[in-house]
A and B are shown apart, each in its own frame.
Chain A
Amino acid sequence: MLGVFLGGLLASIALTIPIAFALLLTAILMMIASGQPIVPQIIAQNVVKGLDNFPMLAIPFFMFAGEIMNKGGITNRIVRFTQSLMGHIRGGTGYVSVMTAMLFAGVSGAAVADTTAVGSVLLPIMERDGYEKTDSTALICSAGCIGPIIPPSIPMILYGVTAGVSIVKLFLGGIVPGLMVGLGLMVLWFFKVRKKNYRKFKKASLKEVWKAFRSAIWAILLPVIIMGSIIFGIATPTEAAVVAVIYALFVSGVIYKELKVSYLPGILIDGIKTTAGIMFVVGTATATAYMLTITQIPELLSNTLLSISNNPYVIILMVNFLLLIVGCVMDATPTVLILTPVLLPIIESIGLSPIHFGVLLTINICIGLLTPPVGVVLYTGCSLSKITMDSLVKSIWPYIIVMIVVLLLVSYFPGIIMLLPNLLSR
Protein backbone atom coordinates (compact mmCIF):
# COMPACT_ATOMS: atom_id res chain seq x y z
CA MET A 1 0.00 0.00 0.00
CA LEU A 2 2.94 2.29 0.76
CA GLY A 3 4.17 1.65 -2.79
CA VAL A 4 0.77 2.59 -4.22
CA PHE A 5 0.75 5.81 -2.19
CA LEU A 6 4.31 6.90 -3.00
CA GLY A 7 4.40 5.53 -6.55
CA GLY A 8 0.97 6.89 -7.47
CA LEU A 9 1.69 10.32 -6.06
CA LEU A 10 5.20 10.73 -7.47
CA ALA A 11 4.30 9.33 -10.89
CA SER A 12 1.24 11.52 -11.28
CA ILE A 13 3.12 14.65 -10.15
CA ALA A 14 5.95 13.80 -12.54
CA LEU A 15 3.42 13.42 -15.35
CA THR A 16 2.49 17.12 -14.86
CA ILE A 17 -0.90 16.38 -13.35
CA PRO A 18 -1.74 19.36 -11.09
CA ILE A 19 -0.90 18.45 -7.48
CA ALA A 20 -4.52 18.68 -6.26
CA PHE A 21 -5.63 16.18 -8.92
CA ALA A 22 -2.53 14.02 -8.29
CA LEU A 23 -3.61 13.70 -4.65
CA LEU A 24 -7.13 12.77 -5.68
CA LEU A 25 -5.83 10.18 -8.14
CA THR A 26 -3.59 8.72 -5.42
CA ALA A 27 -6.58 8.43 -3.07
CA ILE A 28 -8.52 6.59 -5.76
CA LEU A 29 -5.59 4.25 -6.54
CA MET A 30 -5.38 3.46 -2.82
CA MET A 31 -9.12 2.74 -2.73
CA ILE A 32 -8.71 0.31 -5.63
CA ALA A 33 -5.61 -1.35 -4.10
CA SER A 34 -7.33 -1.80 -0.73
CA GLY A 35 -10.37 -3.33 -2.43
CA GLN A 36 -12.74 -0.51 -1.51
CA PRO A 37 -15.47 0.67 -3.86
CA ILE A 38 -14.94 4.09 -5.47
CA VAL A 39 -17.82 6.15 -4.17
CA PRO A 40 -17.84 9.65 -5.74
CA GLN A 41 -19.77 11.23 -2.87
CA ILE A 42 -17.23 10.03 -0.27
CA ILE A 43 -14.46 11.64 -2.31
CA ALA A 44 -16.46 14.85 -2.84
CA GLN A 45 -17.45 14.92 0.84
CA ASN A 46 -13.81 14.75 1.92
CA VAL A 47 -12.88 17.53 -0.52
CA VAL A 48 -15.70 19.73 0.83
CA LYS A 49 -14.63 18.90 4.41
CA GLY A 50 -11.16 20.18 3.53
CA LEU A 51 -12.57 23.36 1.99
CA ASP A 52 -14.88 24.03 4.93
CA ASN A 53 -12.04 25.03 7.21
CA PHE A 54 -12.55 28.23 9.20
CA PRO A 55 -8.95 28.73 10.51
CA MET A 56 -7.73 28.75 6.89
CA LEU A 57 -9.61 32.00 6.43
CA ALA A 58 -6.52 33.74 7.83
CA ILE A 59 -4.65 32.89 4.60
CA PRO A 60 -6.48 35.23 2.17
CA PHE A 61 -6.47 38.04 4.71
CA PHE A 62 -2.72 37.85 5.28
CA MET A 63 -2.36 37.78 1.46
CA PHE A 64 -4.56 40.88 1.14
CA ALA A 65 -2.55 42.68 3.85
CA GLY A 66 0.77 41.87 2.12
CA GLU A 67 -0.53 43.05 -1.26
CA ILE A 68 -1.96 46.26 0.22
CA MET A 69 1.37 46.95 1.94
CA ASN A 70 3.20 46.50 -1.30
CA LYS A 71 0.88 48.57 -3.49
CA GLY A 72 0.15 51.19 -0.85
CA GLY A 73 3.69 52.46 -0.36
CA ILE A 74 4.24 50.74 2.99
CA THR A 75 7.17 48.61 1.74
CA ASN A 76 8.90 51.69 0.31
CA ARG A 77 8.77 53.44 3.66
CA ILE A 78 10.18 50.42 5.52
CA VAL A 79 13.03 50.35 2.98
CA ARG A 80 13.71 54.07 3.47
CA PHE A 81 13.80 53.66 7.25
CA THR A 82 16.15 50.65 7.25
CA GLN A 83 18.28 52.47 4.66
CA SER A 84 18.65 55.45 7.00
CA LEU A 85 19.90 53.05 9.67
CA MET A 86 22.23 50.81 7.65
CA GLY A 87 22.67 52.33 4.20
CA HIS A 88 26.04 53.90 5.07
CA ILE A 89 27.71 50.57 5.99
CA ARG A 90 29.73 48.70 3.32
CA GLY A 91 27.18 46.54 1.47
CA GLY A 92 24.50 48.37 3.46
CA THR A 93 21.68 47.76 0.98
CA GLY A 94 22.16 44.03 1.58
CA TYR A 95 21.51 44.48 5.31
CA VAL A 96 18.59 46.74 4.41
CA SER A 97 17.13 43.89 2.31
CA VAL A 98 17.33 41.42 5.17
CA MET A 99 15.87 43.84 7.72
CA THR A 100 13.06 44.87 5.36
CA ALA A 101 12.32 41.21 4.62
CA MET A 102 12.12 40.48 8.36
CA LEU A 103 9.73 43.41 8.94
CA PHE A 104 7.64 42.43 5.91
CA ALA A 105 7.64 38.82 7.22
CA GLY A 106 5.75 40.14 10.21
CA VAL A 107 2.77 40.81 7.95
CA SER A 108 2.73 38.63 4.87
CA GLY A 109 3.49 35.03 5.85
CA ALA A 110 4.47 33.92 2.34
CA ALA A 111 7.98 33.72 0.91
CA VAL A 112 7.09 34.68 -2.66
CA ALA A 113 5.21 37.80 -1.47
CA ASP A 114 8.15 38.76 0.76
CA THR A 115 10.73 38.22 -2.01
CA THR A 116 8.66 40.12 -4.57
CA ALA A 117 8.03 43.05 -2.21
CA VAL A 118 11.67 43.43 -1.17
CA GLY A 119 13.19 42.50 -4.53
CA SER A 120 11.04 44.81 -6.63
CA VAL A 121 12.13 47.79 -4.53
CA LEU A 122 15.74 46.92 -3.67
CA LEU A 123 17.11 44.94 -6.63
CA PRO A 124 17.10 47.99 -8.96
CA ILE A 125 18.87 50.03 -6.23
CA MET A 126 21.48 47.31 -5.70
CA GLU A 127 22.06 47.01 -9.45
CA ARG A 128 22.46 50.79 -9.73
CA ASP A 129 25.01 50.77 -6.89
CA GLY A 130 27.16 48.14 -8.57
CA TYR A 131 26.23 45.09 -6.49
CA GLU A 132 26.74 41.78 -8.28
CA LYS A 133 23.34 40.88 -9.65
CA THR A 134 23.45 37.18 -8.81
CA ASP A 135 24.68 37.79 -5.28
CA SER A 136 22.10 40.45 -4.47
CA THR A 137 19.31 38.27 -5.92
CA ALA A 138 20.53 35.28 -3.89
CA LEU A 139 20.50 37.37 -0.71
CA ILE A 140 17.02 38.77 -1.38
CA CYS A 141 15.62 35.32 -2.21
CA SER A 142 17.05 33.86 1.01
CA ALA A 143 15.82 36.85 3.04
CA GLY A 144 12.38 36.44 1.44
CA CYS A 145 12.30 32.89 2.80
CA ILE A 146 12.23 34.30 6.33
CA GLY A 147 8.62 35.27 5.46
CA PRO A 148 7.01 31.99 6.51
CA ILE A 149 9.32 31.47 9.53
CA ILE A 150 8.59 34.78 11.27
CA PRO A 151 4.85 34.91 12.03
CA PRO A 152 2.31 35.14 10.55
CA SER A 153 3.02 32.10 8.45
CA ILE A 154 0.85 30.31 5.92
CA PRO A 155 2.69 26.94 6.21
CA MET A 156 2.27 27.16 10.00
CA ILE A 157 -1.49 27.76 9.62
CA LEU A 158 -1.70 24.75 7.29
CA TYR A 159 0.35 22.60 9.69
CA GLY A 160 -1.59 23.80 12.73
CA VAL A 161 -4.91 22.86 11.13
CA THR A 162 -3.63 19.50 9.79
CA ALA A 163 -1.88 18.47 13.01
CA GLY A 164 -4.49 19.99 15.32
CA VAL A 165 -2.00 22.10 17.29
CA SER A 166 -2.12 25.71 18.43
CA ILE A 167 -1.35 28.13 15.59
CA VAL A 168 -0.52 30.80 18.17
CA LYS A 169 2.17 28.59 19.74
CA LEU A 170 3.57 27.81 16.30
CA PHE A 171 3.73 31.52 15.50
CA LEU A 172 5.57 32.18 18.75
CA GLY A 173 7.96 29.30 18.07
CA GLY A 174 8.92 30.77 14.70
CA ILE A 175 10.08 34.16 15.98
CA VAL A 176 13.54 33.23 17.34
CA PRO A 177 14.53 30.90 14.43
CA GLY A 178 13.38 33.59 11.97
CA LEU A 179 15.57 36.19 13.67
CA MET A 180 18.46 33.67 13.72
CA VAL A 181 18.17 33.11 9.96
CA GLY A 182 18.10 36.88 9.38
CA LEU A 183 21.15 37.38 11.58
CA GLY A 184 22.95 34.46 9.89
CA LEU A 185 22.30 35.94 6.44
CA MET A 186 23.65 39.31 7.58
CA VAL A 187 26.81 37.68 9.00
CA LEU A 188 27.37 35.85 5.71
CA TRP A 189 26.76 39.08 3.77
CA PHE A 190 29.31 40.85 6.00
CA PHE A 191 32.02 38.35 4.98
CA LYS A 192 30.96 38.49 1.32
CA VAL A 193 31.08 42.27 0.96
CA ARG A 194 34.02 43.22 3.16
CA LYS A 195 36.42 43.28 0.21
CA LYS A 196 33.94 44.72 -2.29
CA ASN A 197 33.80 48.40 -3.10
CA TYR A 198 30.05 48.84 -3.34
CA ARG A 199 28.58 52.32 -3.32
CA LYS A 200 27.47 53.43 0.14
CA PHE A 201 24.80 55.92 1.07
CA LYS A 202 25.72 59.04 3.01
CA LYS A 203 25.38 58.40 6.74
CA ALA A 204 21.98 59.66 7.78
CA SER A 205 21.89 62.26 10.52
CA LEU A 206 19.79 61.63 13.60
CA LYS A 207 17.24 64.08 12.21
CA GLU A 208 17.04 62.12 8.93
CA VAL A 209 16.70 58.81 10.80
CA TRP A 210 13.91 60.32 12.90
CA LYS A 211 12.17 61.62 9.76
CA ALA A 212 12.38 58.20 8.07
CA PHE A 213 11.18 56.55 11.28
CA ARG A 214 8.21 58.92 11.56
CA SER A 215 7.26 58.23 7.98
CA ALA A 216 7.55 54.44 8.47
CA ILE A 217 6.13 54.19 11.99
CA TRP A 218 2.65 53.24 10.74
CA ALA A 219 4.19 50.47 8.66
CA ILE A 220 6.47 49.24 11.47
CA LEU A 221 3.50 49.12 13.85
CA LEU A 222 1.66 46.63 11.61
CA PRO A 223 3.70 43.51 12.57
CA VAL A 224 3.61 44.68 16.18
CA ILE A 225 -0.18 44.94 16.09
CA ILE A 226 -0.57 41.52 14.46
CA MET A 227 1.73 39.64 16.82
CA GLY A 228 0.74 41.69 19.87
CA SER A 229 -2.94 40.97 19.39
CA ILE A 230 -2.24 37.25 18.88
CA ILE A 231 0.23 36.87 21.78
CA PHE A 232 -1.92 38.72 24.30
CA GLY A 233 -4.99 36.75 23.33
CA ILE A 234 -6.84 39.82 22.03
CA ALA A 235 -7.42 38.25 18.62
CA THR A 236 -7.25 34.85 16.94
CA PRO A 237 -4.86 34.56 13.95
CA THR A 238 -7.85 35.01 11.58
CA GLU A 239 -9.04 38.12 13.40
CA ALA A 240 -5.49 39.48 13.52
CA ALA A 241 -5.29 38.98 9.76
CA VAL A 242 -8.49 40.98 9.31
CA VAL A 243 -7.16 43.72 11.59
CA ALA A 244 -4.00 43.76 9.44
CA VAL A 245 -6.11 44.29 6.31
CA ILE A 246 -8.15 47.12 7.87
CA TYR A 247 -5.01 48.73 9.26
CA ALA A 248 -3.05 48.40 6.00
CA LEU A 249 -6.03 49.85 4.07
CA PHE A 250 -6.25 52.78 6.50
CA VAL A 251 -2.51 53.49 6.45
CA SER A 252 -2.09 53.14 2.66
CA GLY A 253 -5.33 54.85 1.72
CA VAL A 254 -5.86 57.54 4.35
CA ILE A 255 -2.43 58.30 5.83
CA TYR A 256 -0.04 57.67 2.91
CA LYS A 257 -2.73 58.27 0.25
CA GLU A 258 -1.00 55.87 -2.17
CA LEU A 259 -3.60 53.11 -2.44
CA LYS A 260 -6.22 53.75 -5.08
CA VAL A 261 -9.67 52.15 -4.94
CA SER A 262 -9.02 50.79 -8.44
CA TYR A 263 -6.23 48.59 -7.01
CA LEU A 264 -8.65 46.72 -4.72
CA PRO A 265 -10.25 44.26 -7.19
CA GLY A 266 -6.79 43.17 -8.33
CA ILE A 267 -5.60 42.75 -4.74
CA LEU A 268 -8.71 40.74 -3.83
CA ILE A 269 -8.56 38.49 -6.89
CA ASP A 270 -4.81 37.79 -6.45
CA GLY A 271 -5.36 36.89 -2.80
CA ILE A 272 -8.36 34.69 -3.56
CA LYS A 273 -6.58 32.91 -6.42
CA THR A 274 -3.54 32.11 -4.27
CA THR A 275 -5.83 30.92 -1.47
CA ALA A 276 -7.91 28.86 -3.89
CA GLY A 277 -4.77 27.09 -5.15
CA ILE A 278 -3.90 26.21 -1.56
CA MET A 279 -7.48 25.25 -0.62
CA PHE A 280 -7.84 22.93 -3.62
CA VAL A 281 -4.77 21.02 -2.43
CA VAL A 282 -6.14 21.12 1.15
CA GLY A 283 -9.44 19.66 -0.08
CA THR A 284 -7.96 16.82 -2.11
CA ALA A 285 -5.27 16.15 0.53
CA THR A 286 -8.15 15.57 2.97
CA ALA A 287 -9.39 12.80 0.68
CA THR A 288 -5.86 11.32 0.55
CA ALA A 289 -5.47 11.67 4.34
CA TYR A 290 -8.74 9.75 4.75
CA MET A 291 -7.24 6.88 2.73
CA LEU A 292 -3.91 7.15 4.58
CA THR A 293 -5.75 6.69 7.88
CA ILE A 294 -7.79 3.75 6.61
CA THR A 295 -4.73 1.97 5.22
CA GLN A 296 -2.58 2.79 8.31
CA ILE A 297 0.34 4.09 6.25
CA PRO A 298 1.62 6.55 8.90
CA GLU A 299 1.97 3.69 11.41
CA LEU A 300 3.71 1.55 8.77
CA LEU A 301 6.20 4.31 7.96
CA SER A 302 6.72 5.07 11.62
CA ASN A 303 7.55 1.43 12.38
CA THR A 304 9.92 1.24 9.38
CA LEU A 305 11.79 4.38 10.43
CA LEU A 306 11.93 3.34 14.09
CA SER A 307 13.30 -0.05 13.08
CA ILE A 308 16.35 1.73 11.58
CA SER A 309 16.98 3.64 14.79
CA ASN A 310 15.01 4.72 17.82
CA ASN A 311 17.55 7.36 18.79
CA PRO A 312 15.67 10.71 18.68
CA TYR A 313 18.73 12.54 17.32
CA VAL A 314 19.05 10.12 14.42
CA ILE A 315 15.30 10.24 13.73
CA ILE A 316 15.34 14.06 13.67
CA LEU A 317 18.29 13.96 11.27
CA MET A 318 16.51 11.47 9.01
CA VAL A 319 13.27 13.49 9.06
CA ASN A 320 15.14 16.71 8.26
CA PHE A 321 16.98 14.97 5.44
CA LEU A 322 13.72 13.59 4.04
CA LEU A 323 12.08 17.02 4.23
CA LEU A 324 15.03 18.69 2.48
CA ILE A 325 14.90 16.13 -0.34
CA VAL A 326 11.12 16.49 -0.67
CA GLY A 327 11.51 20.28 -0.55
CA CYS A 328 13.70 20.12 -3.65
CA VAL A 329 10.90 18.60 -5.71
CA MET A 330 7.70 19.77 -4.04
CA ASP A 331 6.11 23.08 -3.19
CA ALA A 332 5.34 24.20 0.39
CA THR A 333 1.59 23.52 0.56
CA PRO A 334 1.59 19.90 -0.65
CA THR A 335 4.69 19.15 1.46
CA VAL A 336 2.88 20.25 4.64
CA LEU A 337 -0.40 18.60 3.76
CA ILE A 338 1.05 15.28 2.60
CA LEU A 339 3.85 14.83 5.10
CA THR A 340 2.22 16.09 8.30
CA PRO A 341 -0.10 13.11 8.77
CA VAL A 342 2.71 10.76 7.72
CA LEU A 343 5.50 12.16 9.91
CA LEU A 344 3.61 13.37 12.98
CA PRO A 345 3.17 9.90 14.55
CA ILE A 346 6.94 9.31 14.20
CA ILE A 347 7.70 12.65 15.84
CA GLU A 348 5.27 12.01 18.68
CA SER A 349 6.66 8.50 19.20
CA ILE A 350 10.12 9.94 19.98
CA GLY A 351 8.66 12.47 22.38
CA LEU A 352 9.25 15.58 20.26
CA SER A 353 6.73 18.41 20.66
CA PRO A 354 4.43 18.88 17.64
CA ILE A 355 5.06 22.64 18.00
CA HIS A 356 8.81 22.06 17.70
CA PHE A 357 8.25 19.83 14.67
CA GLY A 358 5.91 22.37 13.04
CA VAL A 359 8.60 25.03 13.14
CA LEU A 360 11.25 22.57 11.86
CA LEU A 361 8.93 21.60 9.02
CA THR A 362 8.47 25.28 8.14
CA ILE A 363 12.23 25.96 8.07
CA ASN A 364 12.77 22.87 5.90
CA ILE A 365 10.06 24.08 3.53
CA CYS A 366 11.71 27.50 3.32
CA ILE A 367 15.02 25.87 2.40
CA GLY A 368 13.11 23.84 -0.21
CA LEU A 369 11.86 27.08 -1.74
CA LEU A 370 15.48 27.94 -2.52
CA THR A 371 16.55 24.61 -3.96
CA PRO A 372 16.24 23.56 -7.60
CA PRO A 373 14.47 22.12 -9.48
CA VAL A 374 11.26 23.27 -7.74
CA GLY A 375 12.26 26.37 -5.80
CA VAL A 376 9.49 28.88 -6.43
CA VAL A 377 11.45 31.65 -4.74
CA LEU A 378 14.35 30.96 -7.13
CA TYR A 379 12.00 31.45 -10.07
CA THR A 380 10.67 34.65 -8.48
CA GLY A 381 14.24 35.93 -8.05
CA CYS A 382 15.16 35.06 -11.64
CA SER A 383 12.13 36.86 -13.04
CA LEU A 384 12.74 39.93 -10.85
CA SER A 385 16.40 40.37 -11.76
CA LYS A 386 16.38 38.77 -15.23
CA ILE A 387 19.23 36.36 -14.51
CA THR A 388 19.48 32.68 -15.38
CA MET A 389 18.56 29.95 -12.96
CA ASP A 390 22.06 28.42 -13.28
CA SER A 391 23.83 31.57 -12.13
CA LEU A 392 21.42 32.09 -9.23
CA VAL A 393 21.80 28.48 -8.08
CA LYS A 394 25.60 28.92 -8.02
CA SER A 395 25.29 32.00 -5.81
CA ILE A 396 22.61 30.75 -3.47
CA TRP A 397 24.25 27.72 -1.89
CA PRO A 398 26.14 29.63 0.89
CA TYR A 399 22.81 31.12 2.01
CA ILE A 400 21.24 27.66 2.01
CA ILE A 401 24.10 26.45 4.23
CA VAL A 402 23.35 29.27 6.70
CA MET A 403 19.72 28.16 6.83
CA ILE A 404 20.74 24.51 7.30
CA VAL A 405 23.02 25.50 10.19
CA VAL A 406 20.11 27.32 11.85
CA LEU A 407 17.88 24.29 11.14
CA LEU A 408 20.33 21.93 12.86
CA LEU A 409 20.73 24.28 15.83
CA VAL A 410 17.00 24.55 16.42
CA SER A 411 16.53 20.82 15.77
CA TYR A 412 18.93 19.77 18.52
CA PHE A 413 18.27 22.62 20.95
CA PRO A 414 14.45 22.58 21.17
CA GLY A 415 14.60 25.31 23.82
CA ILE A 416 15.32 27.86 21.08
CA ILE A 417 11.95 27.19 19.49
CA MET A 418 10.00 26.39 22.63
CA LEU A 419 11.23 29.39 24.65
CA LEU A 420 8.54 31.86 23.55
CA PRO A 421 5.62 29.38 23.32
CA ASN A 422 6.39 28.22 26.88
CA LEU A 423 6.92 31.74 28.16
CA LEU A 424 4.09 33.65 26.53
CA SER A 425 1.35 31.25 25.58
CA ARG A 426 -1.18 30.16 28.12
Chain B
Amino acid sequence: MEEKLYQSVCKVIYWLTIVLAYVLTIVVSINVASRYIFGVSIFWSEEITRFLFIWCSCLGIVLLNDKGELMQLGLLITYLNKRFAQIAIQLFANTVCLLLSILLLVGGIVISIESMSWASPILGVPNGVVYCIVPFCCAILIWQFIRRYAKIFMRSEENA
Protein backbone atom coordinates (compact mmCIF):
# COMPACT_ATOMS: atom_id res chain seq x y z
CA MET B 1 0.00 0.00 0.00
CA GLU B 2 2.71 2.44 1.09
CA GLU B 3 4.88 1.37 -1.86
CA LYS B 4 2.02 1.95 -4.30
CA LEU B 5 1.32 5.39 -2.84
CA TYR B 6 5.02 6.30 -2.99
CA GLN B 7 5.36 5.20 -6.63
CA SER B 8 2.24 7.18 -7.58
CA VAL B 9 3.58 10.32 -5.86
CA CYS B 10 6.92 9.88 -7.66
CA LYS B 11 5.14 9.49 -10.99
CA VAL B 12 3.15 12.67 -10.40
CA ILE B 13 6.36 14.54 -9.48
CA TYR B 14 8.12 13.14 -12.57
CA TRP B 15 5.41 14.33 -14.97
CA LEU B 16 4.90 17.62 -13.14
CA THR B 17 8.64 18.31 -13.54
CA ILE B 18 8.45 17.54 -17.26
CA VAL B 19 5.43 19.83 -17.73
CA LEU B 20 7.09 22.65 -15.78
CA ALA B 21 10.33 22.18 -17.76
CA TYR B 22 8.33 22.42 -21.01
CA VAL B 23 6.59 25.60 -19.80
CA LEU B 24 9.94 27.04 -18.62
CA THR B 25 11.55 26.40 -22.01
CA ILE B 26 8.58 27.76 -23.95
CA VAL B 27 8.24 30.94 -21.85
CA VAL B 28 11.96 31.78 -22.06
CA SER B 29 12.04 30.95 -25.78
CA ILE B 30 9.02 33.12 -26.56
CA ASN B 31 10.53 35.98 -24.54
CA VAL B 32 13.87 35.77 -26.37
CA ALA B 33 12.12 35.52 -29.76
CA SER B 34 9.76 38.39 -28.93
CA ARG B 35 12.67 40.59 -27.82
CA TYR B 36 14.68 40.05 -30.99
CA ILE B 37 11.88 39.84 -33.52
CA PHE B 38 9.39 42.41 -32.21
CA GLY B 39 11.74 44.38 -29.94
CA VAL B 40 9.39 43.86 -26.95
CA SER B 41 10.00 41.80 -23.82
CA ILE B 42 7.17 39.88 -22.22
CA PHE B 43 6.89 41.74 -18.91
CA TRP B 44 5.86 38.74 -16.81
CA SER B 45 8.40 36.36 -18.31
CA GLU B 46 11.34 36.86 -15.93
CA GLU B 47 9.19 36.49 -12.84
CA ILE B 48 7.43 33.32 -13.94
CA THR B 49 10.73 31.89 -15.16
CA ARG B 50 12.31 32.40 -11.75
CA PHE B 51 9.36 30.70 -10.04
CA LEU B 52 9.39 27.77 -12.48
CA PHE B 53 13.14 27.36 -12.07
CA ILE B 54 12.82 27.13 -8.26
CA TRP B 55 10.02 24.56 -8.61
CA CYS B 56 11.88 22.50 -11.22
CA SER B 57 15.06 22.51 -9.09
CA CYS B 58 13.21 21.39 -5.95
CA LEU B 59 11.25 18.66 -7.74
CA GLY B 60 14.45 17.54 -9.49
CA ILE B 61 16.11 17.11 -6.07
CA VAL B 62 13.31 14.74 -5.05
CA LEU B 63 13.69 12.74 -8.27
CA LEU B 64 17.46 12.54 -7.77
CA ASN B 65 17.12 11.41 -4.17
CA ASP B 66 14.60 8.75 -5.19
CA LYS B 67 17.35 7.02 -7.16
CA GLY B 68 20.06 7.86 -4.57
CA GLU B 69 21.77 10.07 -7.15
CA LEU B 70 22.52 13.15 -5.02
CA MET B 71 26.19 14.17 -5.36
CA GLN B 72 28.19 12.27 -2.75
CA LEU B 73 31.44 10.41 -2.19
CA GLY B 74 31.08 6.69 -1.72
CA LEU B 75 34.77 6.08 -1.06
CA LEU B 76 34.59 5.03 2.56
CA ILE B 77 31.81 2.53 1.81
CA THR B 78 33.71 1.12 -1.17
CA TYR B 79 36.94 0.61 0.72
CA LEU B 80 35.42 -0.62 3.98
CA ASN B 81 35.38 -4.38 4.11
CA LYS B 82 33.45 -4.82 7.30
CA ARG B 83 29.76 -5.12 6.61
CA PHE B 84 28.81 -3.84 10.03
CA ALA B 85 30.84 -0.67 9.56
CA GLN B 86 29.30 -0.12 6.12
CA ILE B 87 25.79 -0.40 7.53
CA ALA B 88 26.66 1.85 10.48
CA ILE B 89 27.95 4.57 8.13
CA GLN B 90 24.94 4.32 5.86
CA LEU B 91 22.60 4.54 8.85
CA PHE B 92 24.47 7.54 10.24
CA ALA B 93 24.46 9.38 6.88
CA ASN B 94 20.76 8.63 6.39
CA THR B 95 19.89 9.86 9.88
CA VAL B 96 21.81 13.11 9.36
CA CYS B 97 19.99 13.67 6.04
CA LEU B 98 16.65 12.92 7.68
CA LEU B 99 17.26 15.38 10.53
CA LEU B 100 18.46 18.10 8.17
CA SER B 101 15.40 17.57 5.96
CA ILE B 102 13.18 17.99 9.02
CA LEU B 103 15.02 21.22 9.85
CA LEU B 104 14.51 22.48 6.29
CA LEU B 105 10.85 21.42 6.41
CA VAL B 106 10.29 23.49 9.55
CA GLY B 107 12.24 26.46 8.14
CA GLY B 108 10.45 26.12 4.79
CA ILE B 109 7.00 26.14 6.43
CA VAL B 110 7.91 29.26 8.44
CA ILE B 111 9.25 31.23 5.45
CA SER B 112 6.31 30.14 3.28
CA ILE B 113 3.79 31.36 5.86
CA GLU B 114 5.74 34.56 6.57
CA SER B 115 6.05 35.43 2.89
CA MET B 116 2.38 34.82 2.02
CA SER B 117 1.76 38.52 2.58
CA TRP B 118 4.44 39.60 0.05
CA ALA B 119 3.25 39.48 -3.49
CA SER B 120 5.60 39.43 -6.48
CA PRO B 121 5.66 42.88 -8.14
CA ILE B 122 4.34 41.90 -11.60
CA LEU B 123 2.21 38.80 -11.30
CA GLY B 124 1.03 39.51 -7.77
CA VAL B 125 1.71 35.90 -6.75
CA PRO B 126 2.41 35.63 -3.00
CA ASN B 127 6.03 34.56 -2.48
CA GLY B 128 4.76 32.00 0.00
CA VAL B 129 3.05 30.13 -2.86
CA VAL B 130 6.39 29.92 -4.67
CA TYR B 131 8.36 28.94 -1.58
CA CYS B 132 5.84 26.29 -0.46
CA ILE B 133 7.59 23.91 -2.86
CA VAL B 134 10.47 23.81 -0.33
CA PRO B 135 8.50 22.24 2.56
CA PHE B 136 6.60 20.04 0.09
CA CYS B 137 9.83 18.60 -1.30
CA CYS B 138 11.37 18.33 2.17
CA ALA B 139 8.38 16.25 3.26
CA ILE B 140 8.95 13.88 0.33
CA LEU B 141 12.70 13.78 1.13
CA ILE B 142 11.84 12.80 4.72
CA TRP B 143 9.60 10.04 3.37
CA GLN B 144 12.44 8.85 1.11
CA PHE B 145 14.98 8.82 3.96
CA ILE B 146 12.61 6.86 6.20
CA ARG B 147 12.08 4.32 3.39
CA ARG B 148 15.86 4.09 2.94
CA TYR B 149 16.30 2.61 6.44
CA ALA B 150 14.34 -0.42 5.27
CA LYS B 151 16.49 -0.65 2.13
CA ILE B 152 19.74 -0.50 4.14
CA PHE B 153 18.60 -3.34 6.42
CA MET B 154 17.27 -5.40 3.52
CA ARG B 155 20.55 -5.02 1.61
CA SER B 156 22.52 -6.04 4.68
CA GLU B 157 20.36 -9.16 5.08
CA GLU B 158 20.80 -10.05 1.39
CA ASN B 159 24.60 -9.71 1.72
CA ALA B 160 24.70 -11.79 4.91
Contact = CB atoms under 8 A, between A and B. Distances in A.
Interface of A: 12-21, 24-25, 28, 38-45, 47-48, 51-52, 54, 56-57, 60-61, 64, 234-235, 238-239, 242-243, 245-246, 264-265, 268-269, 271-273, 275-277, 279-281, 283, 329-331, 333-334, 373-374
B134 A47 contact: yes
A374 B134 contact: no
A12 B74 CA distance: 12
Contact of A329 (B58, B63, B73, B96): B73
Contacts of A12: 96
A372 to B, nearest CB: 10
Main secondary structure of the interface of A (DSSP, over half): helix
Contacts of B50: 52, 54
Given A272-B21, A374-B73, A25 B100 contact: yes
Interface in B67-114: 69-77, 89-90, 92-93, 96-97, 100, 103-104, 106-108, 110-111, 114
Given A44-B110, A272-B56, A277-B71, 9 more contacts: A42-B107, A268-B18, A269-B63, A271-B21, A276-B61, A277-B61, A280-B64, A280-B70, A283-B57
Given A45-B107, A51-B54, A54-B50, A18 B60 contact: no
**Number of contact residues on B: which range applies?**
35 or more
Interface string B22-63: 101100110011011000000000100110011011111101
Contact of B89 (A13, A16, A334): A16
Contacts of A276: 56-61, 63-64
B97 A54 contact: no
Contacts of B134: 44, 47-48
A235 B111 CA distance: 35
B14 interface: yes
A47 B69 CA distance: 20
Contacts of A64: 25
